[in-house]
Structure 1
Amino acid sequence: MTNRRDFLRKAGLAAAAVGPVTLAAPYVKAQDKVIKWRLQTYAGPALAEHVIKPAIDAFNKAANGAMVIELYTSDQLVPTGELFRAMRAGTIDAVQSDDDSMASPVDIKVFGGYFPFASRYSLDVPTLFHQYGLNEIWAEAYGEVENVQWLSAGSWDPCNFATNKPLNSLADLKGLRIFTFPTAGQFLTRFGVVPVTLPWEDVQVAMQTGELDGLAWSGITEDYTVGWADVTKYFLTNNISGAWCGSFFANKERWDEVPEHLQTLFRLCMDSSHYYRQYWYWGGEAQLRAEGTKLKLTTIPDAEWATVEEEALKFWDEIATTSPRCAKVVEILKKYRSTMEKAGPPYRYS
């Protein structure tokens, strides 16, 4: 029998006879090519620091080098009105914007941005998308557009007027040149407002030169954050919508190239962005109304402002006639409105 010592001795002699043995290096999987995206937001630099940058920074960190998203702000690569076409063509890989201001070629684009009185609070938007069927409608609409992937919708701040003239009645709106969103502007013309379209970064100068009389673009948080509170004097507490509705979109070819685990990571970061804005705006609107020193608050009496909301419902019915899908969205908005009113406070106050 061969004992262990003899075995080791003979094995050593055999190894010496054939010469030294070179051990193979351990197998290392080659690093996949880093995926790089360029994403442009509708927001200018100061606002982007809040509405998207934290989420993109988190994604880049968690992706651990496998994917990197470069963030660009309003009009930095392409004008906001050309965002959709640029994304579809692959000039940029992804977009954060509302459907309305970037001229999405879908019938439901009018509901992006500020559709008059579609929401009262910021939580209305995610509830409408996740529980009332708007997710499916948006996916259907953008599924008809070649090379575009709609990803996720979320809410931003309300739409209030910031002006250099105090607004105490509806009559005060007549003739005002106001920077606002396309559909919101279309609605506000019913009250004598003159909508003005400008590049986002030109708005502050336009207020100083008198080209604009005011803004109906945001709530008070943005007015302070981006410097508009420095060039306006008054803030109207009445709003025409309780929350802006915006989405993330991607070029579909580029989206399909992203591995599933990174797609999941990006979806989680979008949710993180939606969550951040919920409390940033909610707290900011209250704090700056109560403690802000730059803007004087004015209010149009509730009874008079109710006529604006009544006019909005007529506007809804007009939009419903433009397509069966728009009619379906309006039907959902009416059902949601009815449910909230029946629920009573804190959902709706009479």
Structure 2
Amino acid sequence: MTTTRRKFLATGALGAAAAGLAAPARAQETIKWRMQTYAGPALAEHVVKPAIDAFNTIANGQMEIELFYADQLVPTSELFRAMQNGTIDAVQSDDDSMASPTEVTVFGGYFPLGLRYSLDVPALFNEWGLNEIWGEEYAKVGVKHISAGSWDPCHFAMKEPVNSLADLQGKRVFTFPTAGRFLAQFGVVPVTVPWEDVEVAMQTGELDGIAWSGITEDYTVGWSKVAPYFLTNNISGAWIGHFFANMERWDAVPPHLQELLKVCFEQSHYYRQHWYWAGEAKLRVEGTDMQLTTIPDAEWAQVEAAAATFWDEIAAESETKAKVVEIIKKYNDTMTKAGRPYRYG
């Protein structure tokens, strides 16, 4: 028998259609992640939620991230371990407060006087080699370092005015581990409480102050109501924070969704750049909750000198730490030599 072209097309099409009806294609299951941020709900509305909402929308059912806030699933200090063992798929935090067991942990959050402006963070990571160092260090412990970005500067928000270093003596302050280690030499008593308990701790007298953020965050989360004095001298010009993921979960995500994650997180970093930058100036000038105080430059120079000594102490702890400190030193030296607008004075 001879099969005509017309008959072949007809039976072939019907056969293919029948086969399709008999064995429908299986829909791809949605990849679901759980991410916890260091931030409470009010702050997360700015520092992470828009990025997660955008990702979930663009991913169009292929992947979905469920966002959890500070201490909601696990305490912030246990975020790293929870991510490493897969209890949480991804984390937004600094290295320091989530207690990651790496050689670069001490530089996360606020490394004392290491940065002056928020743009210093992406410059150091993207142009001066810190991305590669962080990537290598976290890969050793089964975690993907996705990207780094800057947040606000670190200032004291206090119940009582601070006009000299002597005013810090004995003050119980909520702050980051490394910042607390540095500030202890000036009589500050570092205190750790859950993030959502800070306001109450200020009201009950458990805390005398907060060295966790700039003025934008103080107003956003309500701390300006319990800490009426804002010290304009800062411990650092910007916070270093990151997005991380469990390495196995990251590797299981298709390349196009990995790229989408990176893009959305970069947009999140950019949003914080202008949100904090604008807020720090506007609220100092127009805010009504907090009164500004300042330690004179000549006296604050003691803190700056102590920071240089602290950097050398950190550098002596390991080869990797020494490498990061050297990059930070060279970067700051370059900025100073470049002059305005990179550095003033």
Which position in structure 2 is the counterpart of 1:309? Answer: 304
Contact residue 229 and residue 291 of structure 2 kept, 8 A? yes
Equivalent residue for 1:41, pick from 37, 40, 54: 37
Equivalent AA in structure 1 for residue 233 of structure 2: N
Once residues 96 and 263 of structure 1 are traced to their aligned partners in structure 2, the CA distance between those partners, rounded to angstroms, is: 16
TM-score (norm 1): 0.93
**Structure 1 residues 25 and 307: CA distance shift in structure 2, 3 A:** farther
SS in structure 1 of the partner of residue 104 of structure 2 = helix
| Residue 121, structure 1, aligned to residue 114, structure 2 | no
Query: Which runs of 5 or more residues in structure 1 are unaligned?
Result: 1-6
For residues 147-196 of structure 1, the C-alpha deviation after alignment (integer angstroms, 9 at most, x for no partner) is 31111111000000000110111111111000000000000011110000
Q: Tell me whether 1:102 sits opposite 2:95 in the alignment.
A: no
Stretch moving more, 211-220 or 295-304: 295-304
Which whole-Å CA distance do the structure 1 matches of 2:304 and 2:322 have between them? 19
Aligned residue type for 1:271: E
2:17 to 24, 27, 36: 24
The Cα shift of 1:87 comes to: 0.5
* 2:162 aligned with 1:173: no
Pair 23,94 (structure 1): closer, same or farther in 2 beyond 3 Å: closer
**2:196 matches 1:201:** yes
Question: How far apart, CA to CA, are the structure 1 residues paired with 2:91 and 2:329?
Answer: 30
Could you tell me which amino acid in structure 2 is paired with residue 84 of structure 1?
F
TM-superposed CA distance for 1:23, in Å, is 8.0
Cα distance, 1:140 vs structure 2: 1.2
- Contact 2:139-2:247 within 8 A present in 1 as well: no
Counterpart selection for 1:221 from 209, 216, 241: 216
Q: The residue matched to 2:323 in structure 1 has which SS?
A: helix
2-structure distance, mates of 1:115, 1:72: 26
* Residue-by-residue CA offset, 1:81-108 (whole Å, 9 max, x unaligned): 0000000111110000000001000011
Shift in CA distance, 26/77, structure 1 to aligned 2, threshold 3 Å: same
Structure 2 counterpart of 1:35, one-letter code: I
1:92 maps to: 88
Misfit runs of 4+, over 6 Å: none
Query: What do residues 204-226 of structure 1 show as CA deviations (whole Å, max 9, x unaligned)?
Result: 00000000000000000000000
- Classify the secondary structure of the residue corresponding to 1:107: coil
Equivalent position SS for 1:99: coil
Distance 1:307 1:30, change over 3 A: same
Rounded Cα–Cα distance in structure 2 between residues aligned with 1:279 and 1:307: 31
In structure 1, what is the Cα distance between the partners aligned to 2:94 and 2:64? Answer: 24
Q: Which residue type is aligned with residue 215 of structure 1?
A: I
Q: 1:26: how far off?
A: 9.1
The residue type equivalent to 1:101 in the other structure is S
Q: 1:53 aligns with which of 41, 44, 49?
A: 49
8 Å CA contact 2:84–2:246 kept in 1: the answer is yes
Q: Cα 1:91–1:343, aligned 2, differ >3 Å: closer, same or farther?
A: same
| Root mean square deviation of aligned Cα | 1.7
Which one of 326, 334, 340 corresponds to residue 339 of structure 1? 334
Q: CA deviation at 1:240?
A: 0.7
Instruction: State the Cα distance separating 1:29 from its structure 2 match.
Output: 4.2
Q: Which structure 2 residue ranges, 5 or more long, are not aligned?
A: none
The superposition leaves residues 244-291 of structure 1 with CA deviations (integer Å, 9 ceiling, x where unpaired) of 001111011111110000000000001000000000000000110010
For 2:15 and 2:129, locate their aligned partners in 1 and report how far apart those are by CA, in whole Å.
64
Residues 1:270 and 2:229 aligned together: no
- Inter-partner Cα distance in structure 1 for 2:193 and 2:115: 26
Q: Distance in 2 between matches of 1:31 and 1:49?
A: 33
1:268–1:23 distance in 2 versus 1, CA, 3 Å: closer
Q: How far does residue 30 in structure 1 lie from its aligned partner after superposition?
A: 2.8
- TM-score, normalised to structure 2, is 0.94
Matches within 5 A, 1:59-98: 59-98=55-94
Deviates more, 1:178-187 or 1:23-32: 23-32
